[in-house]
Chains A and B, each alone.
Chain A
Amino acid sequence: MDLFLQQIVSGFATGGIYACMALSVVMIYQAIHHLNFAQGEMATFSTFIAWQLLAWGLPYFAVIPLAIGLSFIGGFIVERVVFKPIENAPVLSHIVIFIALFAIFNSAMGFIWDFSIKPVPSAFGEGPLYEGSLLSKHQTGMISVTMFVLVLLWAFFRFTRVGLAMRAAAANPQSARLVGIRVSFMTALGWGMASAIGAVAGILIAPVVFLEPNMMLSILLYGFAGAVLGGLTSPLGAVIGGFIVGIVENLAGTYIPVVGGELKLPIALFLIVVVLVVKPEGLLGRRVVQRV
């Protein structure tokens, strides 16, 4: 029973990572109805920027807003430069561009910061939260930050004019344009926010898994699994999905013998395929009905 509890708790903690990543996946999906396969690499890039700033001797409280701000601007620029020209291109073009970005970011990180593994200190300090606690300080911090980001997003979409405009632009671009919303600007804003959230996720994850250019590949897959499970249209669903994926991964790793530590990625594959086939709208997502 103790082991079970321990696994749930530590699954919850890793789930926090996936939840963060899933949030940023959902953010992009809201803006452009696409899954950004380069999301993980972009987040890793942001984390590298944060690491570089730390290495230059800046304190953590200055580094975090700076890295997040830069990521926001970076995401915004990527959308403007790369995706604006092919707004109306077929799906294949979009997927190819995502893959292109993936390759460029991955290779650029290796080029600038090389492929060696870099430890990143936690912003929350080391050690357990209190004596005998199941969660470490970092894990607690990670989960709280994820929750905080979720509440922030919810408030942003619910109470601000820009949030409302973004929702309108995503739900019905034509009508949104008619009432004076700059739809393509909103899309770029969505990209900026998604990469900012990605930066948060990256900075939270790096102390757990070590920083290197391929850090995010498997985490992105879990993030996708979480987002798909929770529903690609719902930020809350994505967070819940992320936590569920974390817990399932840990429990399966402990209690199913062969799967053990060996088949953790195939679990994500399995989850994605099953959810997409059985309940494509996810746990909390809206069912999108199209008129044909």
Chain B
Amino acid sequence: MATSETYAAGAASAPKPFITAERVVYLLLFIGLVALPFFSKGFFVFQMTKLLIYAIAIIGLNLLTGINGQFSLGHGAFYAVGAYTTAIMVEMMGVNYMLTLPVAGLICFVFGFLFGLPALRLDGIYLALATFALAIAMPQFLKLSTIEHLTGGVQGVIVFSETFDPEVPFGLPLDPGVWTYLFTLFVGVFLFWLARNIVASRTGRAMMAIRDNPIAARSMGVNIALYKTLAFGLSALFTGVAGALSAIAVKFVAPDSFTFALSIVLLVGLVVGGVGWLPGALIGAAFIVFVPNFAEEISKGLSGAVFGFFLILVIYLAPQGAGGLLRAGVGRVKRLLGGR
């Protein structure tokens, strides 16, 4: 992988001051994102909600591909499982939507962990093939007639069919759309923090070691099978929670929202944001939410071509995505300022 230096450098260093440039940037970003819905219109808030949801899913994919070096063209499938879990629990069982997120995450973790078991024996292109098959087969699973009373078959499930909107807790005087956005933001911040800590932990280092050199990792005593399946499970967990949030935000799930195109979109976001650089998820997600709008203005159905074109461009010109460009830019500024 080309991105091995991304996190490796931060593994062991002298104690840092409490206020770092990085933390200030994150804090400003967070304040900006919290303030955003109070200064913008409803549809834009919905789009930003979608952006955050995609960002969470891309973080999940990044844990698998960027950190552990395994490929997946099938993350749309995990996203679907998460979305359906929430939809079914809210609609059929009357569970509070906030409580469905951990359940969706857990189910996806198990699902991902189980899929990771055969994936252990598959390398590179074969793993891509198996996950490709998973992504294409997923809508047919969801349409299966024996579980139609739960999934609603082709029609799907309308979430919050009685209340129309997710309930705003504590009687806060907020528009449901704004609340959904803030809720997604809080979940996203929590998951981002979690992902960063996983990457910085013993587990994360083991995963990166497997990515960089499996043989060396094994001889250092890293349990390859365990950490590879664990990476699959964790990755599916993140993506599944993103799917669950999408069910809450879109208020509707149907098999044809989770086709192969969704998996492509997630991959595009990952590559554009930067493989192996977690904050890149936000940039990648912004790309996949807003670029289709511009493309559709030129011609309907052209967004695929624009995505494809950008993917090729990124691979040629900036193989580390926006993250790589940003780091290169920051490095240059530092050198200009005379630092080392």
Q: B-contacting residues of A (Cβ < 8 Å)?
A: 33-35, 37, 82, 85-86, 89-97, 99-104, 106-108, 110-111, 115, 217-218, 221, 224-225, 228, 258, 262-266, 268-269, 272-273, 276-277, 280, 292
Q: Is the Cβ of B124 less than 8 Å from the Cβ of A262? A: no
Flag whether B274 is at the interface (Cβ < 8 A).
no
Q: Is the Cβ of B141 less than 8 Å from the Cβ of A103? A: no
Q: Which of B144-159 contact A (CB under 8 A)?
A: 144-146
Q: Is the Cβ of A108 less than 8 Å from the Cβ of B140? A: no
Binary contact track B105-123/A, C-beta < 8 Å → 1, others 0: 0000000000000100110
Residues of B within 8 A of A217 (CB): 136, 260
- A85 and B264 CA atoms in complex are apart in Å by 23
Q: Is the Cβ of A86 less than 8 Å from the Cβ of B315? A: yes
Q: Is the Cβ of B126 less than 8 Å from the Cβ of A280? A: yes
- A85 and B1 CA atoms in complex are apart in Å by 18
- A203 and B2 CA atoms in complex are apart in Å by 41
Q: Give the number of A-B contacts (CB < 8 Å).
A: 134
- A230 and B129 CA atoms in complex are apart in Å by 15
Flag whether B92 is at the interface (Cβ < 8 A).
no
Given contacts A96-B267, A96-B315, A107 and B304 within 8 Å (CB-CB): yes
Q: Is the Cβ of A95 less than 8 Å from the Cβ of B304? A: no
Flag whether B305 is at the interface (Cβ < 8 A).
yes
Query: Does more than half of chain B's interface fall in helix, strand or loop, or is it mixed?
Result: helix
Q: A-contacting residues of B (Cβ < 8 Å)?
A: 1-2, 65, 71, 73, 118, 121-122, 124-126, 128-130, 132-134, 136-137, 140-141, 143-146, 215, 260, 264, 267-268, 271, 275, 299, 301-309, 311-312, 315-316, 319
- Taking the closest CB of chain B, its distance from the CB of A104, in whole angstroms, is 4
User: Which residue, B124, B299, B309, has most C-beta atoms of chain A within 10 A?
Assistant: B124
Nearest chain A residue, comparing its CB with the CB of B124: A91
Q: Is the Cβ of B304 less than 8 Å from the Cβ of A103? A: yes
Residues of B within 8 A of A115 (CB): 301
- A261 and B247 CA atoms in complex are apart in Å by 28
- A269 and B141 CA atoms in complex are apart in Å by 11
Q: Is the Cβ of A272 less than 8 Å from the Cβ of B140? A: no
Given contacts A93-B319, A262-B143, A103 and B136 within 8 Å (CB-CB): no
Given contacts A37-B132, A280-B121, A92 and B301 within 8 Å (CB-CB): no
- A171 and B277 CA atoms in complex are apart in Å by 37
Q: Is the Cβ of A103 less than 8 Å from the Cβ of B129? A: no
Q: Is the Cβ of B308 less than 8 Å from the Cβ of A276? A: no
Q: Is the Cβ of B215 less than 8 Å from the Cβ of A224? A: no
Within 8 Å by CB of A100, from B133, B301, B312, lies B312
- Taking the closest CB of chain A, its distance from the CB of B67, in whole angstroms, is 13
Q: Is the Cβ of B308 less than 8 Å from the Cβ of A266? A: no
Q: Is the Cβ of A266 less than 8 Å from the Cβ of B141? A: yes
Q: Is the Cβ of A265 less than 8 Å from the Cβ of B73? A: no
- Taking the closest CB of chain B, its distance from the CB of A273, in whole angstroms, is 5
Residues of A within 8 A of B309 (CB): 100, 104
A217-B260, A269-B137 provided; 14 other pairs, C-beta below 8 A?
A82-B312, A100-B308, A100-B309, A100-B311, A100-B312, A102-B308, A104-B309, A218-B136, A258-B144, A265-B140, A266-B140, A272-B130, A277-B118, A280-B126
- A108 and B1 CA atoms in complex are apart in Å by 31
Q: Is the Cβ of A103 less than 8 Å from the Cβ of B73? A: no
Given contacts A91-B125, A111-B299, A272 and B133 within 8 Å (CB-CB): yes
